[in-house]
Structure 1
Amino acid sequence: MTMRLIDNDPDGIRICWVEGESLVTIVVPRDKLTEAKQLPDMPERGVYYLLDEDHGVLSRVYAGQTTQGLARLEAHKAKKEFWNKAVMFLDSDINIDRDVLDVLEAKTIDFVRRNGSYETDNTYLPSPHVNPYKEQRVEELHKSILFRMKVLGYDLNRLESIVHVSEGFHTKKNGIAATGKYDKETGRFTVFAGSDVDLGHGIIKNLRAIAAREHLFKGRTGKAKLDRDITFASPSTAAVFVLGGSQNGWTEWVDDQGKTLDEVYRNKEHMNE
């Protein structure tokens, strides 16, 4: 995949192509929308995602279709406050006709609703007629979109990561009790619903994943309980979220035998080398 960085900014607007494919991918930070709309010769038909993301960790996702290209994001900027980044997959109307677009949007929305541990604003699932002669084209486009999202660092298939996790771990410190699971394949750690969270430490305010904590916690101050599972990029980030302060998740999380996460995974890996 070839990537062009606008203004040489890796956190700014990015345009991506895959060799042999006409589909163009455009990553647009919310605050760069005006500049993005000035890009020349951009296709106007395709699907897109609105993301609330922090270093690849997705908290909320919305999927939709557009026949207006980047201009479609203007309405979402005015009406939807949650997103900080948009990823659009655009092509010409010759390569994506109306029937393909409608079915591709439905497939995109269905995948987001079924496969993510993140929240989604997609409450309605369209049911367009599927032309059997165009099914393969839709499948190819959707497969390419998922591949590109993963390469960009936005893995939409978070449910798969949570299912294939190891045995449970827990932490008890300063009256805080929490449980979770570690995913060896992704390096992420999921804190389970019902876990205690110390709200008294200012450091948690820096975690965008809990910016809307009123939707995640039972309680508002002091010690609160998590309403639902939430996945973090690392065991240490999860430990900081739960305990506050500066934490080493590899030693804070222990299993039922009292072994730390470090002993179970890192030492085991060293022994097998």
Structure 2
Amino acid sequence: MPGKTIQIYLPDGDPKSVKQATITTDKIEILQIPRAMLSENKKILDFNGIYILVDSLKIEKPEIYIGKGNIKSRVSKHDKNKDFWNVIFAIKLNDNNGFNDAHNSYLEHYFIKKAVDLEMSTLVENKQIPKCPKLPNPAISDLQYYINTIEILLSTLGLKCFQIKETQSASVFICKDKYGNIGEGEYLEDGFMLYKGAKCSLELHKGTKSFPLRDTLIQDGTLKKSGDHYILQSNKIFSSVSSASSIVLGRRSNGWSEWKDADGETLDKLKR
């Protein structure tokens, strides 16, 4: 992929406030606005496009809502009747016409479907994937180009649930023990993806008194009890290889030595 120049403008100079992100050669602009600063910034949301409401506090698997229409009008309603979110990402096409209703419907369909497929976020109220409108091929080609830009900008702004991270290789690594706990996954640029279906320890091993991450995954349903194991319900990206192996084994562990390929070579030997 060729390099891209991303410009992030801070209207009031505060990195915790409003951000306007663009790729300098493209027409797409994304506005990131904290909910607490919505009232004084509604005027810049007076355009038709798609938007994503996000609970940005849930970094691992954020709660999101995807919508379309006049964003100023829509978000004013959501500010009154949706409690979960604390930031909005509003997506704008900077040309004479902007996105029309068909464009918005196509983009809404694409991003809801991708959120469902990737399982890296929790959709709030987007219970069904909307129908994809029929558009002429030139319009679809333009929208697919814009989608690539949108995903890059969202990831740059910290919303990474629409992009699978590039893996360092196609190698699948396995972590298992004598108790039947077993998981498979891939080493990523900045973490480890544990695959859906991993059989994780039902009990914490002696000496492991607390495991907050494990508790969170059980509480939010990512890990569900089935027989003698907790089963991972969706692919899960962990920030470290050791966090992933510890979830499988039910104890503190060194992922660099626990994860092994099909030949028994450790992740440490192959990647460090």
Give me the TM-score of the superposition, normalised by structure 2: 0.72
**Residue matched to 1:168:** 173
3-state DSSP class of the match of 1:188? Answer: strand
Whether 1:248 aligns to 2:254 is yes
- The answer on whether the counterparts of 2:17 and 2:37 sit within 8 Å (CA) in structure 1 is no
Whether 1:259 aligns to 2:265 is yes
Change (3 A) 1:213 1:66: same
- The answer on whether the counterparts of 2:181 and 2:229 sit within 8 Å (CA) in structure 1 is no
Change (3 A) 1:192 1:7: same
Change (3 A) 1:34 1:51: closer
Q: Which of residues 124, 127, 132 in structure 1 aligns to 2:129?
A: 124
- Offset of residue 238 of structure 1: 1.1
Identity %: 19
CA distance in 1, matches of 2:252, 2:213: 13
**Residue matched to 1:15:** 20
Q: Which of residues 231, 234, 243 in structure 1 aligns to 2:237?
A: 231
Deviations 1:198-246 (A, max 9, x none): 56466543479726443531169x9633344423233122134334564
Q: Which of residues 131, 139, 144 in structure 1 aligns to 2:144?
A: 139
CA distance in 1, matches of 2:18, 2:149: 20
Whether 1:216 aligns to 2:223 is yes
**Residue matched to 1:269:** none
Q: Which of residues 143, 152, 171 in structure 1 aligns to 2:157?
A: 152
Structure 2 letter corresponding to 1:145:
I
**Residue matched to 1:4:** 9
Deviations 1:58-87 (A, max 9, x none): 455543213133852752773463x56542
Give me the TM-score of the superposition, normalised by structure 1: 0.72
Whether 1:197 aligns to 2:204 is no
Change (3 A) 1:216 1:12: farther
Q: Which of residues 63, 66, 69 in structure 2 aligns to 1:66?
A: 69
- The answer on whether the counterparts of 1:176 and 1:243 sit within 8 Å (CA) in structure 2 is no
* Larger mean Cα displacement after TM superposition, 83-92 or 138-147: 83-92
RMSD of aligned alpha carbons? 3.9
3-state DSSP class of the match of 1:134? Answer: helix
3-state DSSP class of the match of 2:221? Answer: helix
- The answer on whether the counterparts of 2:181 and 2:249 sit within 8 Å (CA) in structure 1 is no
- The answer on whether the counterparts of 1:239 and 1:252 sit within 8 Å (CA) in structure 2 is yes
- Offset of residue 89 of structure 1: 0.9
Structure with more of its chain in helix, by fraction: 1
CA distance in 2, matches of 1:238, 1:70: 42
Unaligned runs of 5+ in 2: 1-5
Q: Provide the aligned length of Structure 1 versus Structure 2.
A: 258
Structure 2 letter corresponding to 1:33:
R
Change (3 A) 1:52 1:80: same
**Residue matched to 1:183:** 187
Change (3 A) 1:182 1:108: closer
